[in-house]
Amino acid sequence: MAKTDCFKSVGKNIPKIDSLGLSTGEEKFTDDFCFPRQIYCKLVYSSSPFAKIINLDLSGAEKLSGVVEILSYKNTPSLFHTTAGQGFPEPSPYDTKLFDQTVRFVGDRIALIAAENPVIAELAARKIKIEYQEFTPVFNPQQSTSSPPLHFQGEHAVIPVPYLPEKNIAAKVGFEIGAVDSVLKNSDLVINKIYQTHYASHCALEPHSAISYFDSRGRLVIISSTQVPFHARRIVSQILDLPVKFIRVIKPRIGGGFGGKQEILLEPLVALITLRTKRPARLVLSREEVFISTRTRHPMEIELSVGADKQGSLTAISMKALMNTGAYGSHALTVLSNTGSKTLPLFNKIKNIRFHAHSVYTNLPVGGAYRGYGATQGYFALGQQIDILARELKVDVLEIYKQQHIKSGETSPVFEVLGEGKEGTSQNITSCQLTECIDQGSQKIDWYGKRDKRIKNGHWVRGVGMAAGMQGSGIPRVDLASAYIKINDDGSFNLNIGATDLGTGSDTILAQIAAETLHTDPSQLIVLSSDTDTTPFDVGAYASSTTYISGNAVRKCAEKIKTKLITAGAELLQVQPQQVSLENQAVVCRKDKRRCSYEEIARYSLYSENQHQIQATTSNFSNQSPPPFIAQFAEVEINPFTGELKLLNFVSAVDCGQPINPLLVEGQVEGAVVNGISYALTEQYKFSSAGRMQNANFKYYHLFRTPDLCKVKTIIVNSYEQSGPFGAKSIGEIAINGPMPAIANAIFDAVGIRLYQSPFTPEKIYQAIHCCHKELTERRQ
Amino acid sequence: MNGTFIVNKVACNFSFNPTARLLTVLRDNGFTEVKQGCQEGLCGACLVIIDQQLVNSCQVLAASCLQKQITTVKGIGTLHHPHIIQEAFVEAGAVQCGFCTPGMVLATYNLLNQIPQPSEEQIKQFLDGNLCRCTGYVKIINAVKIAARRLNQGNHGKN
Amino acid sequence: MSEPKWYYPTDVDSAIELLNLNEPLFHAGGTGILMRGFLGVSNIIDLQNLKLNYTICQNKNITIGAMTSFSQVIKFIKTINLNSLLIKSLSRAGTTPLRNRITLGGSLAFLPPWSDLIGPLIALNAKVEVKGLNQGIYPIQEFIRNPSIQNKSLITGINYPLSDYSNFYHRATLTQVGFANFTLSIIGKQKSRTVENLKIVITGTKNRYQNLTDLEQKLIDRPVDFNYFEKNVNSTQLDFSAKELGSSEYITRLAKYHLLNGLQQVFTEEKEDK
């Protein structure tokens, strides 16, 4: 199936091109840049969840020596926009102003202080006096639509989608195929459950940061920790009413994103300070600010009904989702759509499918893009539901998946009806090794040796659980990427790409793809990425798009270079182009094996005759989004007396097509898995009764650390996606979806209880055991 | 106030605020390889070694480090002369975004000085002050093992 | 707001003398100060040069200087008794780099509510050595009860008698590194399957800590009988408020479970007369 053996660069564990620079501290992140006369910015946030500012007294701060500028709703553009870093026109509603007289959550922006140094900025921030006229906030998404509206000043959607701010509905999406209700009514078995997921923070180690300055020609340069430099340029231009040509956005190294930096939050603020003061301005958030004021994983409530016949064939599915988008509707429609579109096609044998979903406003922190993007929430429900169903039917859950998951050559009607902000795109699956993933993963965890065995270890009881799923590879007919390649005198190449490496290694794998096409070594590629002036357009790093969309752009571009190398090489060798091919950094005449190296070709084409620069540029978009597939397995140990949980093993077996760089693929899986585990077990926002996050620090917001780790194993299953660059599909997001349902199913396997609300804290586990199996919690010697 | 610090074996005179954290003073003076991730001593991005002690530079007042030997990640190896540990991180795929890497490398350096052949459990316990959100730690733990093996093979040339 | 001034005395007496300055504050490792902030601080007295960084084991008594870091304490005690309660507790405090910075004295001065230090020190019958206005050697419980001991005074060290009793330490957290919801320290000795000696301290309760003297009394001089232990543990009153791990009822249950577990570990048969 795969042509792996003949690859020279693809499929190899090439070290990340920036990793030595990062290990030695040479590479620069946004906050590492420093400019003479720079101004330090500091934001002031709302302490009220919902209020109108009736008096904003800046006089104390203004009087302070060293305060240069203060921004607030009084002196800034009041254009409605969305902070979501998406393509234009954005599917997220225009409901946000740079600053607004109405504040809608604790952590909403009220003012920005710009000062000579951070101490003065901090001092000035404390001197700002705010008087609020408090409104009644709504924290419960269930009550949102019957509560007073958060947005009532002309907020609007810019694409034709349902947007009802008067009812606090930020987005609405749905479809029905077949006759769900009647089929459910006649099914032998129907499982109906409600699942709830919780708020979480991305916790990229580098806090959000941005710096702006005027270059020597009076253009505005913004250095930003962004996943979307081109969208950042466009949205800054929009908010500040500046021509795009006036702005340059540069992404240096970025300390993790995970979706949290697919958001235009800081760029317009520093830009405005630079515009007003003509000085460099910088804004770097504290950890607390990242928690309370940036973006989060949308909490969701999903009511899921699945019907089956006695043989275990699924008959109908109804998914009803209520998403809490917080105070603003960033990604409110698209995350919601993905909850259905990335889960429902998995069981494509089901003929009757319904998806009805709403996003509602509440006076809580704002949701946004977060690795998994709605699929995480959807699979929490679906992954448990299938396990419940299998147990009710007394069949092996692995068999249900293997028999009924979508296969290569098949399609699902969901692809066509559900897209991101518009109708979807029908597609046939051209590669799917999910059955193989299930087989290899279950073998690794010793599924049949452990399932239903309730192996005891003192007071502790063991269990195993699994979940399987799919994601996508970019957004079809939306995402665009491009690449530029040119040759240098010595036969090396510049590869300029708009794609955004967040630490994922995309700069490296794109070099591998170019090198593979050009029959050269990846080290011959000099990669420059993510600079709106010097690299061609790319939508940025999101939607699991870079390997597939940007990778194909690079491959196509390198193909063009290949043709030019052949033409020039044949000319040099004085043969016909059809008689030569590329081989180990040279054009070789197939007949007599004469060769001319890329260096010779470069010198020839640049200096000798018929002089020209061998160069090419290409862009790429896709009509399809081939999903990667994954099967994930958890083994847990539970103490029924206390509800304490130990995770022992976690296995992921993934079909991501041909891995371009297997080591980096494993890294993506492991990072996503541990984030997913930590989300399932220990991470959560705790709110006060006034909607204030009370644990906005690493002391009380618990990320997994090395001592918490269990054994984490990744298996890359052999697969090849014809439409991908050298057979590749995406890998960035998919692995975060399985931990929550797999662990929940493992808990059931161990102690027979179902947890429908995440996270699975020891007290919740204990209470559930105590409630359902009291005898297990009674102490015996 | 003013004071001398020996950073990576070079005496430096910095002027700083009496309540300034060492992290801020180092970064303000160009040692940006020391990263700021949380300012509460819990992420490990800002780790430095002061007189052989691994510490969070955000939890250390600069005024308490006068005349002390401070080692940042550049003090144990550079781009042109990397330390075995830095090479091991590269090779193992332990570097994704790399924001935690300087701290991870320094913690590894300090660990291997104390325990040249640590068990996996000892590695996990020792790295408890370093957060990483990208790697899930798996490759980082591998990198520590690779580095330990190489250093124990007597390959100390660059140390 | 004027900026504080630093002093670097080289002996204890001059450090104490400096307490006569306006709004003074001692600096040990600095982690507590950064949490506290510098409000109302005009003068910072750095204690690094006082030579209070020492560890001594003499006449079955351990003495540790106030400027000894947690990691130094662990390293030192490991040379004497690998099974020490203090090793178990301090190894779990903070993180590796924080343990290099947190000192015994600083930790006693600030006594943060999540302290991993006070439970074991109470169980070990430790005494705090103080110089200055309130010069003296104070039993740890008295020291905690009476914060005024620290007025114009400096903690110079602690001491406690070396014992070979069995012990148990439990730290209830959501993740391994995380501030303790409660800690549980048990020290016990048995002879001929009879409880000869027992000390139980739980920190993180409503009154910072509870020394379970009632339970100790009920078990001392009784035969080792885990059913009897269980009955008495169950009837013990523990006062917890709700914490991040859960409701007060749940935390109470968790604490009792681990308390009984701990007693079982301390009084297993293998540990008889070791």
Separation between Cα atoms, residue C272 and residue C192, nearest integer Å: 7
A672 vs B contacts (CB less than 8 Å)? 136
Separation between Cα atoms, residue A373 and residue A361, nearest integer Å: 18
Is residue B134 a contact partner of residue C101, using CB atoms and an 8 Å limit?
no
Task: Identify any residues that bridge with A758 across adjacent strands, giving them in sequence order.
Answer: none
Q: Mapped to the 3 state alphabet, what secondary structure does chain C carry?
A: CCCCEEECCCCHHHHHHHHHCCCEEEECCCHHHHHHCCCCCCEEEECHHHCCCCEEEECCEEEEECCCEHHHHHHHHHCCCCCCHHHHHHCCCCCHHHHCCCEHHHHHHHCCCCCCCHHHHHHCCCEEEEEECCCEEEEHHHHHHCHHHHCCEEEEEEEEECCCCEEEEEEECCCCCCCCCEEEEEEEEEECCEEEEEEEEEEEECCEEEECHHHHHHHCCCECCHHHHHHHHHCCCCCCCCECCECHHHHHHHHHHHHHHHHHHHCCHHHCCC
Are C97 and B17 a contacting pair at CB < 8 A?
A: no
**Which class would CATH give B2-76?**
alpha beta
Q: Say which residue the tokens 């409104």 belong to.
A: A135
**pLDDT tops 90 at residue A129:** yes
Percent of chain A with pLDDT over 90: 97
Domains of chain A: 33-135+208-284 (3.90.1170.50), 296-474+624-777 (3.30.365.10), 480-621 (3.30.365.10)
Q: Does residue C55 share a domain with residue C39?
A: no
Q: Does residue C61 share a domain with residue C151?
A: yes
A695 vs C contacts (CB less than 8 Å)? 244
Query: CA-nearest residue of chain A to C231?
Result: A779
C254 vs A contacts (CB less than 8 Å)? 642, 644, 762
Q: Say which CATH number the domain at C263 has.
A: 3.30.390.50
Write down the mean pLDDT value for chain A: 97
Confidence grade of residue A781 (pLDDT, cut at 50, 70, 90): very low
Residues constituting chain B: 159
Query: CA-nearest residue of chain B to A667?
Result: B135
C253 vs A contacts (CB less than 8 Å)? 642, 766
Separation between Cα atoms, residue C86 and residue A211, nearest integer Å: 48
Are C245 and A762 a contacting pair at CB < 8 A?
A: yes
Burial (CB < 10 A; 0-12, 13-18, 19+), residue A387, is buried
Closest-CA residue to C181 (of C256, C254, C99, C118): C254
Q: Does residue C217 share a domain with residue C194?
A: yes
Burial (CB < 10 A; 0-12, 13-18, 19+), residue C58, is exposed
Closest-CA residue to A135 (of A367, A330, A363): A363
Predicted confidence (pLDDT) per residue in A667-722, tens digit:
999 999 999 999 999 999 999 999 999 999 999 999 999 999 999 999 999 999 99
**pLDDT tops 90 at residue A311:** no
Chains that touch B (3 or more CB pairs under 8 A): A, C
Separation between Cα atoms, residue A551 and residue A726, nearest integer Å: 9
Q: Does residue C75 share a domain with residue C12?
A: no
Predicted confidence (pLDDT) per residue in B74-126, tens digit:
999 999 999 999 999 999 999 999 999 999 999 999 999 999 999 999 999 99
Task: Among C161, C183, C214, give the residue marking a domain's end.
Answer: C161
End-to-end CA distance of chain B: 34
Separation between Cα atoms, residue C2 and residue B17, nearest integer Å: 11
> With a CB-CB cutoff of 8 Å, which residues 84-143 of chain B face chain A?
86-87, 89-93, 95-102, 105, 123-125, 127-128, 130-141
Q: What pLDDT does residue A443 have?
A: 98
Predicted confidence (pLDDT) per residue in A571-587, tens digit:
999 999 999 999 999 99
Is residue C171 a contact partner of residue C92, using CB atoms and an 8 Å limit?
yes
* Element housing A397 (H / E): helix A397-404
Q: What pLDDT does residue B158 have?
A: 44
Mean pLDDT for the stretch of residues A772-776: 86
End-to-end CA distance of chain C: 60
In A50-107, DSSP assigns E strands to 51-57, 67-72, 102-103
Query: CA-nearest residue of chain A to C247?
Result: A763
Closest-CA residue to A597 (of A560, A563, A572): A572
Residue A691 dihedral angles phi and psi, to the nearest 5°: 80, 15
Mean pLDDT for the stretch of residues A389-398: 96
Number of domains chain C is built from: 3
Q: Find the domain containing C155 and state its range.
A: 50-161
Distance from CA of A713 to the nearest CA of B (A): 9
**How many Cα atoms sit within 13 Å of A417 on the Cβ side?**
15
Are A23 and B101 a contacting pair at CB < 8 A?
A: yes
Say what the ipTM of the complex is: 0.97
Domain boundaries, chain B: 2-76, 84-152
Distance from CA of C28 to the nearest CA of A (A): 22
Are C95 and B128 a contacting pair at CB < 8 A?
A: yes
Q: What pLDDT does residue B157 have?
A: 46
Report CA-CA distances (Å) from A141 to A243, A301, C212: 39, 9, 46
Is residue A517 a contact partner of residue A555, using CB atoms and an 8 Å limit?
yes
A767 vs C contacts (CB less than 8 Å)? 250
Distance from CA of B66 to the nearest CA of A (A): 23
Predicted confidence (pLDDT) per residue in A186-227, tens digit:
999 999 999 999 999 999 999 999 999 999 999 999 999 999
**pLDDT tops 50 at residue B159:** no
B128 vs C contacts (CB less than 8 Å)? 95-96, 176-177
Are C97 and B61 a contacting pair at CB < 8 A?
A: no
Is residue C162 a contact partner of residue C60, using CB atoms and an 8 Å limit?
yes
Separation between Cα atoms, residue A98 and residue B129, nearest integer Å: 37
Residue type, A192: N
Confirm or reject contact between B49 and chain A (CB < 8 A). no
Q: What CATH number matches the domain at B84-152, 3.30.420.40, 1.10.150.120, 3.40.50.1820, 2.102.10.10?
A: 1.10.150.120
**pLDDT tops 60 at residue A302:** yes
Separation between Cα atoms, residue C85 and residue A590, nearest integer Å: 77
Work out whether the CA dihedral C28, C34, C36, C42 comes out positive or negative: positive
Q: Does residue C153 share a domain with residue C54?
A: yes
Are A704 and C175 a contacting pair at CB < 8 A?
A: yes
β pairing state of C153-161 and C136-139? unpaired
Is residue A355 a contact partner of residue A178, using CB atoms and an 8 Å limit?
no
Q: What pLDDT does residue B155 have?
A: 55
Q: Does residue C175 share a domain with residue C119?
A: no
Q: The tokens of A321 are what?
A: 């989702």
B89 vs A contacts (CB less than 8 Å)? 19, 23
Q: Say which residue the tokens 């939508």 belong to.
A: A539
Predicted confidence (pLDDT) per residue in A701-712, tens digit:
999 999 999 999
Which of the residues in chain C have pLDDT under 70?
Answer: 1, 271-274
Q: What pLDDT does residue A385 have?
A: 98
Task: Among C161, C187, C220, give the residue marking a domain's end.
Answer: C161
Q: Say which CATH number the domain at C56 has.
A: 3.30.465.10
Q: Does residue C77 share a domain with residue C44?
A: no
Q: What is the CA radius of gyration of chain A?
A: 27
Task: Among C161, C176, C202, give the residue marking a domain's end.
Answer: C161
